[in-house]
Amino acid sequence: MRVLTAITSDFNNDGVTTFDDLPNLANTFGKASPRFDLDNDGVIGFGDLLIFARTTGEG
């Protein structure tokens, strides 16, 4: 049995995605980091930033 874990853009674990989470994403830009890879393409890039922007304000 496989367990899937949802990837969330709430990187500081405060329960909501805000601009306070952005530095965590920005620090991994251009690198491989599964925790911050929102579009699941293997590297942190523009697609991840777009997903982050789209989910800002969500809890």
Q: What is the reported pLDDT for 57?
A: 87
Dist CA 50 CA 2 (whole Å): 28
Chain segment 16-36, per-residue pLDDT in tens? 999 999 999 999 999 999 999
Does residue 44 sit in helix, strand or coil?
coil
1-59: CATH topology:
Type 1 dockerin domain (1.10.1330)
Query: What residue ranges do the domains of the chain occupy?
Result: 1-59
Q: What integer best gives the mean pLDDT of the chain?
A: 89
Contact at 8 Å (CB) between 12 and 22? no
pLDDT of amino acid 5: 55
pLDDT score at 3: 53
Which whole number is the average pLDDT over 34-51? 95
